[in-house]
Amino acid sequence: MVNPWEKISLSDYENHMKLDSVMQLQSMNQMMKGQFNAYPISSAIILGIAGGNGLEYIDKTKFHKVYGIDINREYLAAVKERYQDISDILECIQLNLIEETDRLPAAELLVANLIVEYIGYNCFQEAIKQVQPKYVSCIIQINADDSWVSDSPYIHVFDGLDKVHHQVEEDSLIQALKQIEYRLITQTENPLPNGKRLVQLDFEYYNI
């Protein structure tokens, strides 16, 4: 079965995300600056990298390797084109996380923003166990109502996502990572214009 994310154009996705009524692209951009700078690490893997939002904050004096993972080849091609200045440390890998977690490389920091909603807790656990990061930083969307896609002129582009969407809650995610020996170390949130919230949860591996 073709994953619906393979059919959504990057321009439609980004134009929806950056609308003044949505503001997710801009909000996540600033949150990602913090994700990349918070911990003493030199490698990172970004699950669901899309068009590479936030990669401008990758400091080549700090990072020796960054992996960008996505199921959509068009997205990865755009990342390579946009961020040629870090091409010597950035490696883009096209894979389906639900079926191919065993292909994920190791990294010290795993970033997963608005991706757990589309792979579920169990798959996310398997991805983390494969990557074996010291830190996990993820952003999830908390909705004010049952509508998880913000209203916009692009809303019908996302109709097929119902098939793969899982509602994610803070407490359930915290428990899922606790099961694989990651403890919550920070939790912050960013309100959005439409009543939704972006919640950032950072974890550290504690069985050391």
SS (H, E, C) 166-190: CCCCHHHHHHHHHCCCEEEEEEEEE
Please tell me the predicted confidence (pLDDT) of residue 91: 98
Where are the chain's structural domains? 4-205
Token pair listed for 174: 């915290």
Please tell me the predicted confidence (pLDDT) of residue 194: 80
Name the fold adopted by 4-205: Rossmann fold (3.40.50)
Please tell me the predicted confidence (pLDDT) of residue 29: 95
Say which amino acid occupies 150: S
Q: Hunting for tokens 């990865």 — which residue is that? A: 76
Bin 114: left if φ > 0, else alpha if -120 < ψ < 50, else beta. Answer: left
Q: Rounded CA gap, 92 and 71, in Å?
A: 11
Q: What is the pLDDT along the chain (208 residues), one digit of tens a residue?
A: 689 999 999 999 999 999 888 889 999 999 999 999 999 999 999 999 999 999 999 999 999 999 999 999 999 999 999 999 999 999 999 999 999 999 999 999 999 999 999 999 999 999 999 999 999 999 999 887 655 566 667 677 788 888 888 889 999 999 999 999 999 999 999 999 888 899 999 999 997 5
Token pair listed for 163: 């098939």
Please tell me the predicted confidence (pLDDT) of residue 154: 67
Query: Looking at the DSSP assignment, which residues form a beta bridge with residue 113?
Result: 139
Say which amino acid occupies 132: Q
